[in-house]
Amino acid sequence: MASTDQRAPAGHLALPFFDEAHRQLADGLRDWTPAQAVDEADDRAACRDWVRRLGDGGWLRYCVAAEHGGALPALDSRALVVLRETLAFHSPLADFAFAMQGLGSGAISLAGTPAQQAAYLPAVARGEKIAAFALSEPDAGSDVAAMQTVAARGHLTMGSGQNDSDFVLQGSKTWISNGGLADFYCVFAKTDPQGGSRGISAFVVDASTSGLDASRAIHVMAPHPLATLVFDGCRVPAGALLGEVNGGFKLAMQTLDIFRASVAAAALGMARRALAEAVDWARKRRMFGQTLADFQLTQARIGEMAALIDAGALLTYRAAWMRDLGAGSARERSVAAAAAKMTATENAQKVIDMALQMHGGRGVEVGAKVESLYRDIRSLRIYEGATEVQQLIIGKAVLQE
């Protein structure tokens, strides 16, 4: 079933959270995105295509700082929010491709050496290298400290021609976005197996590294390139270490904090598209001699959808604004991002469900935009910190005040 063909809304950009540069960014992307004809039948091929197009269009330059080929002096949360909300309105897969370039390279932006940054970040900004963030494990999702993948110094397993300063990775990661597609992975592993969260280090691992198997694809309800990574004697040089030994947990949390508000923005983009689809359908669908939009029940439901979107949007824009301006304490900024992520994703799920219900039987047809949105939104309530984790962050902060 055909869906509405329109530009993403822009009225919210007049809010004082944004400046003129953000509005101009959104205007350009609102014109560019609908003009891209990407066949998304094969999610992996489509992601490669989107990364190439986003790179050629200059949009990936917002994933890295200017000194590495980026568009702005530093990563700007509001720019990320504007980009992800606009992309997700048109194509959640385009949003996914964009977001993973930022998240997958974020640890390098934050803690990489000049050599690491030069080797990866300009290529990320041009769309020439696809990035991935490898943190989760089969038994260590929300409980990051429970990870079992280890990185031991190479002298424990040295062979001919090997350096005793190398690290050898052993273990597995799962639910890894861009798994099997990425050119490199930012991998988190235990360098002190008894150290809990304080025993984790980060490494940049090229996809071609011997001992890394990324061939085990994971198929999910809304097709995205995911895979399980297996490290079996995967040897990386000491120069692959990102930041300090045993500083990986803090680095992972800092990376996620930067992008958490942008996850909320992606949910907003999907919710705004669902509302647009619902409004368009309500105006066209005739029942009992009038349009669906003429019924007060429809009007009330659309009003509820709009209010739910606005509630999530205000929290999202506040969180991004706070991070960019350094407003409040670090904990207050983290709590604001958690509130945005929780509210926007949960509200988007409700909005999309309402839009699908309004479409009736048409809403569950494969090919209907609201049907694909219904599948796309579900994972956002889980990844980069499930709703329950965000509730704990907020609750603990409130109790400590």
Q: Which residues pair with 65 in a beta bridge?
A: 72
Please give the Cα distance from 367 to 40 (Å, whole number).
Answer: 12
Instruction: Determine the residue type at 336.
Output: A
Question: Nearest Cα to 340, choosing from 400, 260, 266?
Answer: 260
134-137's contacts with Cβ under 8 Å and 24+ in sequence apart are: 134/173, 134/176, 134/179, 134/185, 134/186, 134/187, 134/188, 134/205, 134/229, 135/173, 135/188, 135/252, 136/173, 136/174, 136/175, 136/176, 137/171, 137/172, 137/173, 137/174
- Hey, what amino acid is at 357? Q
Tokens of 374: 């219904």
Q: Is there a catalytic annotation at residue 85?
A: no
- Nearest Cα to 348, choosing from 316, 394, 389? 316
Could you say which of 365, 384, 388, 401 is catalytic? 384
Both tokens of residue 52?
């190439």
d(CA 10, CA 22) in angstroms, rounded, equals 11
Burial code (b: 16+ CB inside 10 Å, e: under 16) for 34-59 equals eeeebebeebeebbbbbbbbbbeeeb
Contact status, residue 191 vs residue 200, Cβ threshold 8 Å: yes
Instruction: Give the span between the Cα atoms of 70 and 12, in whole angstroms.
Output: 26
Between CA 370 and CA 189 the distance in angstroms is 39
Q: Catalytic residue numbers?
A: 384
